[in-house]
Amino acid sequence: MDGRRDTPEQAEFREYCRRWLRENRPPAPAFRLPEHAIEVMTEEQRTYLCAWQKKCYDAGLVGADYPKAYGGGGHQGFQRIASWEMSALGVPYMINVIGLGMAAPTILHHGTEEQKRRYLPPLLSGEEIWCQGFSEPGAGSDLAGVQTSAVRDGDNWIINGHKVWTSLAHFASWMILLARHSSADKYNGLTYFITPIAGAPGVTVRPLIKITGQTGFNEVLFEDAVIPDRLRVDEVGKGWQVAMTTLLHERGAAENAGSGGGQSVEDRLAALIALAKRMPRNGGTAWDDPVIRDRLMQIVVRVEGFRQVFRRARVGALTDHPMRIPLSSKLLISELNQDMAALALDIEGAFASLYLGDERAPDGAEWPLAYLNSYGITIAAGTSEIQRNILGERVLGLAKTK
């Protein structure tokens, strides 16, 4: 239960979600699924996860709060229930995480009627994968510094530039792109586009190899790529404002078209405790080590605190600032996951040096992998330092940074 009181209709929907998920949970695949959608690499992983998202969409568990005219369920306050129940049961996650979490709400708020009807239904169903074209080699956290150019040419725009750290671009049909049409104004010189990716002339997608040895994200090069003006989102020069809508959802400050599934923080904590109880240490197990037990208890307290704060956020009467908890969630959960993975490596000791493919690696080497991946998560969608600045400025009312 997520702490928000359900209406009778929502309670009925919650029971439906639970029943449907229990009856339709797919069997575990014969191949390994990565920890998160942004690490999906192979075609068999993509096919399995796309089929699962389509099945959930057809059952009404994805896009539940979107208008029916745009492929949604036409409800209000149903998506949080579906997402919560998917996470609670630990079913597979939605692969179209960029589309659901960022592109869909942005198009819904800023897109034309034609854009909403064309792009939202296949996005929600997972038939078309989306990626995000914000970061550049010289402009990561400084989003307003993007230099990818958009030059007007009649009814088209000519795009040239270099995007990087582009998760899922290797599977994507479309990208939400922030580009610069004018260098005269840092913020008002930006315009936002929907951009074709797969097979589009002038667009090259190159995989990047991470410290984990895996791919999953990419760099994308635009060389005289042509985008029709009908794919522009909102007005020319409104790109910064549209991007803020995208980031509001990316950073967790708004409910999205759907998510859920995957391993919850409670599941990871349970796995961490189980690991401590079986890893050898000084003739016993790591669970017997008072230092390890103390560190575990600190994690337990943080997980419980996070869980209770999250429940509080669902009760309007207990919310003193609408952005405080949503904006802090990404910061808290990314750093908590990093600390949990670091503790797991200490519990494993020398075994932590074993990696994927080594049969002797505890838990299939998922903890070393999680530790390496955790640094990317604390950087993605704004570093922890950026997130703290946002909290200071927008929640605490501190002076803006210059």
Q: Catalytic residue at 366? A: no
The per-type count for the chain, helices as H runs and strands as E runs, is: 12, 10
| Residue 159 near residue 147 (C-beta atoms within 8 A) | no
Catalytic residue among 85, 128, 136, 250: 250
| Residue 397 near residue 60 (C-beta atoms within 8 A) | no
Q: Would you state the torsion angle of the CA atoms of residues 153, 156, 162, 166, taken in this order, to the nearest 10 degrees?
A: 170
| Residue 340 near residue 334 (C-beta atoms within 8 A) | no
**First-last CA distance in the chain:** 43
**Which of 201, 220, 200, 217 is CA-nearest to residue 209?**
217
d(CA 272, CA 277): 9
Calculate ∠ Cα 110-114-117, nearest 5°: 95
**374 CB-contact burial (10 Å; exposed 0-12 / middle 13-18 / buried 19+):** buried
**Which of 120, 47, 359, 103 is CA-nearest to residue 246?**
103
| Residue 177 near residue 232 (C-beta atoms within 8 A) | no
Q: Are strands 203-208 and 217-228 parallel, antiparallel or unpaired?
A: antiparallel
| Residues with catalytic roles | 250
